[in-house]
C-alpha cells in the first residue's frame, strides 16, 4: 500500500502515543535487530514490537500496511534505522505528528546520513551508542523507573553481550589484517571492527546493497580477487543473493575459499540480537581459522 494512501488513516490515530497499556511503554522498532535490543533494555516496563521481523522481507523496499501505521501512531517510542535505509518508517511518523512521541533515529545518533553505510547494527561501536541512546529515551518517557532502565543496561552490556564482545575481541586479536571479500556493504562495519581488510571494491559492495548493477570493472576485479585467491574468506548476505553474488559464491567454493554468511535481519526471527550476531561471528571465526590452516599446510 502506498504510504500516501495511509495518511487519512493516520490522521484519525493522533494522540494515541501519549498513553500506555497498563502503565507499560508502547515501543515499536522498524526492524527487529534494534527491536530485540530495546526489548531487553525495557524488560517488563514496555511492550516492544518490530515491523520488519520476517527474514525474507527486504527492509529497503518494504511497503507498510495499515496495521503498521496504527502501530506507529499508538507508540510512545519509535526506533528507526535511518541513514536512508527505512524511509517508509519516517514517512509514517511524519504523517501522524505527536508531540509526546519520542523518535530514535539510529543514523542520527551515530552520525551516518543517507548515502553512508546504513548497516550500523553490524558496527559494535554503533550498537553501544544505540544502547546508551535507547536507555536514555526509555528513562525520558518513564522517569519514575530510570534506575530500573539503568540496571537493565548494565545487565545487558555485562552479561547479555558478553559472548558477542568476547568473539569480536578474539577474532580481532587472531586475524586482524586478514584479507576478505564480501557480497555487499553490510559486511563492511563488522570487518572494520574486527580489523579485517576488505578487498572487494566499495563501489561493488554499495551497488549490490542498493540493488544496482556493479560496473564491469568492479565485477572483473571482484572475480579476479576470488579466482586468484587474493582473499582468505568470502562473506555474503544470504538474503540478497543476486546473479553477481552467486557467481562469486560459486567461484569461491570452486577454488576452496571458505564461505560464511550474514543476514539482513534476525535469523531465526525469534533470536535475540546477541545470539544471532554471536552465531555469525563463530561461523566467521571458523572460516578464518580454516583459511589460516589451509595457508600454512
Q: Identify the domain boundary among 125, 142, 160.
A: 160
Residues 7 and 116 grouped into a single domain: yes
Q: pLDDT value at position 22?
A: 62
Q: Is residue 141 helix, strand or coil? A: helix
Instruction: Find the domain containing 186 and state its range.
Output: 164-296
Q: pLDDT value at position 1?
A: 41
Q: Give the pairing of strands 77-80 and 102-105.
A: parallel
Residues 283 and 187 grouped into a single domain: yes
Burial class (CB in 10 A: 0-12, 13-18, 19+), 4: exposed
Q: pLDDT value at position 17?
A: 43
Residues 145 and 226 grouped into a single domain: no
Nearest to 89, CA basis, from 10, 206, 143 = 10
Residues 240 and 181 grouped into a single domain: yes
Whole-angstrom Cα distance, residue 282 to residue 279?
5
Q: pLDDT value at position 15?
A: 44
CA dihedral 214, 217, 220, 222 (to 10 degrees): -60
Residues 9 and 153 grouped into a single domain: yes
3-state secondary structure string across 225-245: HHHCCCCCEEEEECCCCCHHH
Q: pLDDT value at position 139?
A: 98
Residues 131 and 147 grouped into a single domain: yes
Residues 107 and 119 grouped into a single domain: yes
Cell numbers given for 250: 560459486
Residues 178 and 95 grouped into a single domain: no
Nearest to 28, CA basis, from 4, 53, 3, 10 = 53
Question: How many domains in the chain?
Answer: 2
Question: Chunked in runs of 10, what are the mean pLDDT values of the chain (297 residues)?
Answer: 45 44 88 98 98 85 93 97 96 94 98 96 98 98 98 98 98 98 97 98 96 96 98 95 95 98 94 98 98 92
Residues 8 and 154 grouped into a single domain: yes
Cell numbers given for 125: 561501536
Backbone CA torsion sign across 225, 229, 230, 234: positive
Tell me the HSE value of 175 on the side-chain side, using a 13 A CA sphere.
29
CATH of the domain at 133: 3.40.50.1980
Residues 18 and 138 grouped into a single domain: yes
Q: pLDDT value at position 224?
A: 98
Question: How would you list the strands of the sheet with 259-262, edge to edge?
Answer: 197-198, 179-182, 233-237, 259-262
| Prior bond of 268 cis (ω within 30°) | yes
Q: Identify the domain boundary among 160, 190, 209.
A: 160
Whether pTM > 0.75 for this model: the answer is: yes
Tell me which DSSP letter residue 156 carries.
I
Q: Is residue 71 helix, strand or coil? A: helix
Whole-angstrom Cα distance, residue 94 to residue 88?
10
Q: Identify the domain boundary among 131, 160, 189.
A: 160
Q: Is residue 74 helix, strand or coil? A: coil
Residues 280 and 145 grouped into a single domain: no
Residues 197 and 144 grouped into a single domain: no
Amino acid at each position: 500500500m502506498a504510504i500516501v494512501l495511509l495518511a487519512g488513516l493516520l490522521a484519525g490515530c493522533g494522540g494515541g502515543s501519549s498513553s500506555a497499556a497498563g502503565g507499560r511503554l508502547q515501543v515499536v522498532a522498524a526492524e527487529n535487530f534494534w527491536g530485540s535490543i530495546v526489548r531487553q533494555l525495557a524488560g517488563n516496563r514496555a511492550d516492544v514490537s518490530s515491523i520488519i521481523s520476517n527474514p525474507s522481507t527486504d527492509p529497503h523496499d518494504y511497503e507498510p500496511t495499515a496495521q503498521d501505521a496504527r502501530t506507529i501512531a499508538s507508540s510512545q517510542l519509535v526506533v528507526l534505522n535511518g541513514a536512508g535505509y527505512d524511509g517508509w518508517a519516517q514517512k509514517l511518523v511524519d504523517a501522524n505528528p505527536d508531540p509526546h512521541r519520542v523518535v530514535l533515529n539510529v543514523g542520527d545518533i551515530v552520525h551516518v546520513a543517507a548515502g553512508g553505510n546504513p548497516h550500523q547494527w553490524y558496527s559494535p561501536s554503533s550498537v553501544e551508542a544505540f544502547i546508551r541512546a535507547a536507555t536514555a529515551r526509555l528513562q525520558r518517557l518513564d522517569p519514575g523507573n530510570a534506575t530500573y532502565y539503568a540496571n537493565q543496561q548494565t545487565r545487558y552490556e555485562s552479561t547479555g553481550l558478553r559472548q558477542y564482545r568476547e568473539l569480536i575481541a578474539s577474532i580481532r586479536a587472531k586475524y586482524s589484517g586478514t584479507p576478505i571479500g564480501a557480497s555487499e556493504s553490510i559486511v563492511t562495519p563488522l570487518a572494520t571492527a574486527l580489523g579485517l581488510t576488505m578487498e572487494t571494491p566499495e563501489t561493488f559492495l554499495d551497488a549490490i546493497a542498493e540493488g544496482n548493477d556493479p560496473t564491469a570493472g568492479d565485477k572483473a576485479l571482484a572475480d579476479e580477487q576470488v579466482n586468484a585467491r587474493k582473499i582468505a574468506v568470502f562473506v555474503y548476505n544470504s538474503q540478497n543473493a543476486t546473479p553477481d553474488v552467486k557467481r562469486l559464491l560459486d567461484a569461491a567454493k570452486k577454488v576452496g575459499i571458505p564461505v560464511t554468511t550474514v543476514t539482513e535481519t534476525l535469523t531465526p526471527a525469534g533470536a535475540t540480537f546477541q545470539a544471532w550476531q554471536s552465531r555469525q561471528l563463530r561461523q566467521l571465526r571458523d572460516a578464518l581459522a580454516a583459511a589460516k590452516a589451509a595457508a600454512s599446510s
